[in-house]
């Protein structure tokens, strides 16, 4: 994910800026294995995001549990906790795959009815 912020892919030209607070973000990227203990925290962060909000699930661990799929403490996909808009495959996913997922999400945002953000009203 940080490799996409480097000069070769330059996420800034696409309007992608990382924010530390969920109240300032439109998109949440879920990366890595989601455990049963972290699932309520993920839902809480998702609920703090303003509408409209989108979720990108990045990698096979977030998509379906990945290598730890059969563990007792792993959620088998973050889509069981929050609604996911874009799935990025790979273990680990490449920067090109994540960039393609972001571009697909931007297409989905343009097609949706709600195109004005809360801070652009």
Round to whole Å and give the CA distance between 23 and 112.
21
Q: Is the model's pTM score more than 0.85?
A: no
**Which residue has 């309007």 as its token pair?**
15
Round to whole Å and give the CA distance between 28 and 78.
12
Q: Is 87 helix (H, G, I), strand (E, B) or coil?
A: strand
Q: What is the pLDDT of residues 9-62, one digit of tens each?
A: 777 777 888 888 888 888 999 998 999 999 999 999 999 998 889 999 999 988
Cis-peptide, bond into residue 119, ω within 30° of zero: no
Cα distances from 17 to residues 74, 77, 79, in angstroms, run: 30, 26, 24
Round to whole Å and give the CA distance between 114 and 31.
26
pLDDT value at position 88?
Answer: 94
pLDDT value at position 121?
Answer: 54
Q: What is the pLDDT of residues 87-121, one digit of tens each?
A: 999 988 888 899 899 999 989 988 887 655 555 55
Show the domains of the chain with their CATH numbers. 24-109 (3.40.50.12280)
Round to whole Å and give the CA distance between 66 and 32.
9
């Amino acid at each position: 994910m940080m490799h996409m912020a480097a000069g070769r892919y330059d996420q800034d030209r696409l309007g992608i800026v990382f924010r530390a607070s969920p109240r300032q973000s439109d998109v949440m990227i879920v990366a890595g294995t989601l455990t049963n203990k972290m699932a309520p925290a993920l839902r809480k962060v998702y609920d703090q995001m303003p509408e409209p909000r989108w979720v990108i699930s990045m990698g096979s661990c977030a998509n379906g549990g990945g290598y730890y799929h059969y563990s007792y403490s792993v959620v088998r996909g973050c889509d069981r906790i929050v609604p996911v808009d874009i799935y990025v495959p790979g273990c680990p996913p490449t920067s090109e795959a994540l960039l393609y997922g972001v571009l697909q999400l931007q297409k989905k945002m343009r097609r949706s009815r709600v195109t004005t953000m809360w801070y652009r009203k």
